[in-house]
Amino acid sequence: MSLSLLLLLTLSLLSTNPLSLSSTANPPDRFIKSIPPHQSLRHSKPQEYIELTHPLPSDHLIPSFSLQILHHYFADTIGRPPISAPYSPPSACPPPWSSVVLHLQASSYGDQYDRIAAIWLAGAEILRTSTAEPTPDGVFWNVRKDVTRYVSLLQRSNLTLTVMLENVVNDVFTGVYDVRLTLLYYKSNPVRVLSSADHHHNKLSRKLGLLKDYRCVDSKLGFESEKFRDNTVIVHEEKQRNSLNLYETPADLIIPISNVVENEGFWFRIESESGVRSKGVKIPPNTYKAVLEIYVSFHGNDEFWYSNPPDSYIRMNNLTTGRGHGAYREVFATIDGSFVGSVIPFPIIFTGGINPLFWEPVVAIGAFNVPSYDFDLTPFLGLVLDCKTHLFGLGVADSIPFWLVDANLHLWLSHGSSAINAKSVHTHTPSLSIKRSSVFDQLDGSFEIRAKRTSRFLGWVKSNEGNLTTHVLHHLNFKNSIRFERNGTYKLVRQKVKTKTEVKVESEMGLLIGRVRIKRRYPLRVITSTLPGSRSNVYKMVTNVSHSLTEKLSCGCFSRSLRNSQDSRGWMVVKDHDVLSGSANTDQSFSYMDEFGCYSRVVSATDGKLVSDNMTFSCPSSF
C-alpha cells in the first residue's frame, strides 16, 4: 500500500462517520456538496465566493509594484511537504514602503471538502485561510490582507515563502485548488481627506467618546492631524520608529514561534491538553516592546468544539462519536512554563461546516481571513532580557485532536540602547473560575459552562525611549450551553464570548503616554434538528446558525469599530457526509468605522445566489 493511499484511508476513517442512529445525537458535522444542490440555478460560469470585509486603506491607491510570488495547483498534497518559493523584495521597488498587501487568488471546480491553509514567510505565519467548497461549474475567490506589520521580514532578502494546503484528489474528490499569491507594494501614504459628508461620522465618533480630539497629545503616537473650518480633517500617517502606537507601527524584528519540522508545515499540531509545544528564543537585549500574535484553527473532532457534549454523556449513551470533552477551549501562551496570555478563539465555521449550503457564495465570518490574536508581552521583558534562551510555549486547554497553532513574536528594538534595564513587577498566573453543570437522561439533557478570567500584568522597561511602565489588563467572560431534546435529535448550542483588553503605557513620572482598549464580543447560536429521511441512511437536517463579531478598538487619538453578523437558516437531505438536496438562506450585515470613514454592506444569499447586496460609505445612524 502506498503511503498516500494509507494516509487517504486514515483520512476517510477520520472524516467518514455515517449518520447511524447513535450519531444523530451529535451533529453538526462536516459535509460536502457532492451533488450540485441547486440544479435549477446551475451557473454555467464559475461563481465568485466572498467574505465580507472592509476596504483596506491602500485600496484607493495604485500599488508601486506588484510581485507574483507563487502559483501552484494544490492537488493530492496530503502528507507531502509544503510548497515553497524564494522571496526577496523587488529590486525595482526597494523598501521603505508605506504599506504591503498580500493578495491570494484561488479557484477550483469539482467535488472537494473545505481545506485549511497557511502562508509563512521565513517560518512566520502571515495568513491563515480556508478554501471554499467547489462546484462542478467552478468557484473562485480573492483574499486581500494588509501585511504591513510584517515589513521587517518583507524587506529581507533570500527568504522562503511557504504554503501548506493539504488536499486529497482521487476518483471521488476531484477539486484541485489553483492558488496564486501576489504582494502589492505601496509607496504613497494613505492620506484620506474626510469631506464634510463625513461630518456625521465625526459627530458619531465624538458621541461615542472614541475620537476625543483630532490633535494627538503626543506626536509619538504616530498620527497627527489637522482640523479645518468646514470639518474637513486631514489625517497624516507618520511612520515613526519611536511610536508607542501598539497596533499600527510594525515591529523591528519578528521571531516565529513555530514548528521547525518544516515538512509538516510550520504550525504546531496540538492534540491534547498536555500537548504544549514550545520553542527556545533569545530576545535581543535592546528590546523595549514585545507583542505575541497567535494564529489558530480547529479541526477533526474539535472542529465544532463549541458544540461538544461532556464525555460522560457520550459514555452513558454508548455513542461512538469522538466529538466530546465538553465545550470549553482556551488557547494559551507561556514563557518558561508560566502563563502569559490566553484567548477563546472566534468560532470560525469552514465552508463545509454545519450546512454547506449556508456558505455559498458568502462564506462564514473569518473563513477566508482567519483572525490572529495579539498579546502585549512587554511586562514580561524583565524576565527574558538576559541573553539566555527562554521557552515560548503554546497550548490549548481541554483540546482533543486537533488544533493548528503557531505565533509570531513581534519585537521593537531601541536603537542606541545597547542594554536595557527592565523588571517584571506583576506577572503571576491569573486563576480561571470555571463552573460546569450537566443534567441528562439518556440522549436528552442540558450542559452549561461558565468561565471567567482576569489577568493583570505590569512591568517597566528603561531604554532610550525612557523608563516606561506597561500595564496589561485582560478580562475574559465565557458562557456555553448545549441542549438536546427529542431523544437527542434536536440540538441547541448557545455561546457567548466577551473580552476586554487594556494596555496602558506610563512614563516614570506617571504620565499616560499611550493607551489601547479593545472590546470584543462573539456570540454564536446553532440549532440542528435531525429527522428521518425517506430511505435508510438518509436524513433531513434543519439547521439555523447565527453568529457575530463586534469589536471596538480605541487607541489615543483614533478608534476602530466593527460589527459583523450572519444569520443562516435552511435544511438539507444528507447521506453520510454528502448533501443530496436542500435550501438555505444567509443574511449578513457588516459595518466598519475607523479614522478614515465608514463602510457598510448588507447582503442576502439564497440557494447559492446573492439576492441582495447593498454597500455604502456613509455612516449608519446608529453604530
State yes or no: residue 460 binds ligand NAG (CB under 6 A): yes
State yes or no: residue 321 binds ligand NAG (CB under 6 A): no
Instruction: Compute CA distances 386 → 383, 421, 466, 595, whole Å.
Output: 7, 10, 19, 40
**Residue closer to ligand NAG (CB basis): 452 or 494:** 494
Cite the beta strand spans of 114-251 per DSSP E: 116-121, 124-130, 139-146, 159-165, 177-186, 192-194, 223-227, 233-237
Residues numbered 11 to 50 that lie near ligand NAG (CB under 6 A) are 21-22
Cβ-contact 374, 367 below 8 angstroms: no
CB atoms within 10 A of CB 282: 12
State yes or no: residue 508 binds ligand NAG (CB under 6 A): yes
Q: How far apart are CA 51 and CA 361, in angstroms?
A: 9
Q: How far apart are CA 354 and CA 361, in angstroms?
A: 15
CB of 490 to ligand NAG, least distance (A): 7
**Residue closer to ligand NAG (CB basis): 158 or 622:** 158
Cite the beta strand spans of 258-371 per DSSP E: 268-270, 277-282, 287-298, 330-335, 338-343
Cell of 254: 519578528
Cβ-contact 309, 447 below 8 angstroms: yes
State yes or no: residue 527 binds ligand NAG (CB under 6 A): yes
State yes or no: residue 155 binds ligand NAG (CB under 6 A): no
State yes or no: residue 614 binds ligand NAG (CB under 6 A): yes
State yes or no: residue 621 binds ligand NAG (CB under 6 A): no
User: What is the contact mask toward ligand NAG in residues 177 to 216, using x (rule: CB under 6 A)?
Assistant: ----------------------------------------
Residues numbered 545 to 584 that lie near ligand NAG (CB under 6 A) are 569
Of positions 317, 408, 548, 591, contacts ligand NAG by CB under 6 A: 317
CB of 442 to ligand NAG, least distance (A): 6
State yes or no: residue 529 binds ligand NAG (CB under 6 A): yes
Among 147-155, 216-224, 346-354, 459-467, the segment contacting ligand NAG (CB under 6 A): 459-467
State yes or no: residue 462 binds ligand NAG (CB under 6 A): yes
CB of 457 to ligand NAG, least distance (A): 15
Cβ-contact 474, 501 below 8 angstroms: yes
CB of 374 to ligand NAG, least distance (A): 24
Q: What is the 3-state secondary structure (H, E, C) of 370-426?
A: CCCEEEECHHHHHHHCCCCEEEEEEEEECCCCCEEEEEEEEEEECCCCCCCEEEEEE
Residue-wise burial string across 592-613, b where 16 or more C-beta atoms lie within 10 A, e elsewhere: bbbbbbbbbbebbbbbbebeee
- Beta-carbon contacts of 509 under 8 Å, excluding residues fewer than 6 positions away, are none
Q: How many amino acids of this chain bind ligand NAG (CB under 6 A)?
A: 22
Among 362-370, 373-381, 389-397, 460-468, the segment contacting ligand NAG (CB under 6 A): 460-468
**Residue closer to ligand NAG (CB basis): 433 or 487:** 487
Cell of 51: 467574505
Provide the CA 77 distance to its chain's centre, in angstroms.
Answer: 24
Judged by phi (left if over 0) then psi (alpha if -120 to 50, else beta), residue 336 lies in: left
State yes or no: residue 287 binds ligand NAG (CB under 6 A): no
State yes or no: residue 588 binds ligand NAG (CB under 6 A): no
State yes or no: residue 421 binds ligand NAG (CB under 6 A): yes
For residue 30, the 8-state DSSP code is B
Residues numbered 432 to 451 that lie near ligand NAG (CB under 6 A) are 442-443
User: What is the contact mask toward ligand NAG in residues 593 to 612, using x (rule: CB under 6 A)?
Assistant: -------------------x
Q: Which residues bind ligand NAG (CB under 6 A)?
A: 21-22, 157-158, 317-318, 421, 442-443, 460, 462, 467, 469, 487, 508, 527, 529, 542, 544, 569, 612, 614
